[in-house]
Each structure stands twice: as C-alpha cells, then as structure tokens.
Amino acid sequence: MPTDAEWTSLTDFLGGEAIAGGKLKEAGTEHWLIPNVDATNETGFTALPGGYLNNGGNFYSIGARGSWYTSSEKDVTYVWRRDIQSNHGEVDRWENNKNFGLSVRCIKD
C-alpha cells in the first residue's frame, strides 16, 4: 500500500492534485455517477468509485467517490487517504478514522 508521500509523488507527476484525479479515474459513466468530470484514465489506473464504509457499518458514496487508504498515519486514530470524485478532476487528501473501510491501491516495490 502506498505511503502518503508516494501518493503525492504520483499526483505531482500527473500535473498536480488539481488534475490528477481525471487522469486516474475510469472514463464514462458505467460505474461513475454523472457528471464524471475530466475523466480520461490516461494512466490506465481505472480508478473506480467504491465509496467507503463508516464505523457504523454503512456504505456511502458508491458511484460518486473512490477513497484510498495510504499506509501513513496522521496519529494514533487517523491515517491519510486520497479521494477521487465524480464531480471534479482533483485528487483530494484527507485524514480518515482507522475504523472506516476504504479501497486500497497495491504497489510493487
């Protein structure tokens, strides 16, 4: 699983957080809700909108958001995550409670 710094390296390589999401997410609306803004999938990553599972066991934002864990802790309760959403082409960086369920991106060392 990538670190927060590795996600930052990826988004920087793709031109910055403001445009990297579109380059990572699947184009079209087969899985993403309308509008799937700036989606080109030019990286071949094919990010999908799996949403997230909260600590109460409920799923949210399926079709609208993909949320990925990083392996970097913010503190004892939180880790850093990256989000890609249907309504813009950005990659957002947020802290997330460790009790939530998010997608993971595997990388090869």
- Domain coverage including residue 38: 4-97
Strand partners, 80: 95
39: in domain: yes
82 pLDDT higher than 80: yes
Q: Is residue 92 over pLDDT 80?
A: yes
pLDDT score for 106: 85
What are the φ/ψ torsions at residue 70 (nearest 5 degrees)? -110, 170
Q: Is residue 102 part of a domain?
A: no
Say if 31 falls within a structural domain: yes
Residue 66 lies in a domain: yes
- 80 part of a folded domain: yes
Distance CA 79, CA 104 (A): 13
In-domain check, residue 19: yes
| Beta bridge mates, 100 | none
Residue 13 within a domain:
yes
Task: Give residue-wise pLDDT tens across range 17-39.
Answer: 999 999 999 999 999 999 999 99
What φ, ψ does residue 45 adopt, rounded to 5°?
-70, -35
CA–CA separation, 71 and 21 (whole Å):
20
* Residue 22 counted as domain residue: yes
The yes-or-no verdict on residue 76 having pLDDT over 90 is: yes
| pTM for this model (two decimals) | 0.92
Helices assigned H by DSSP within the chain: 4-13, 17-24
**Under a CB-based contact definition with an 8 Å cutoff, are residues 67 and 50 in contact?**
yes
Domain count, the chain: 1
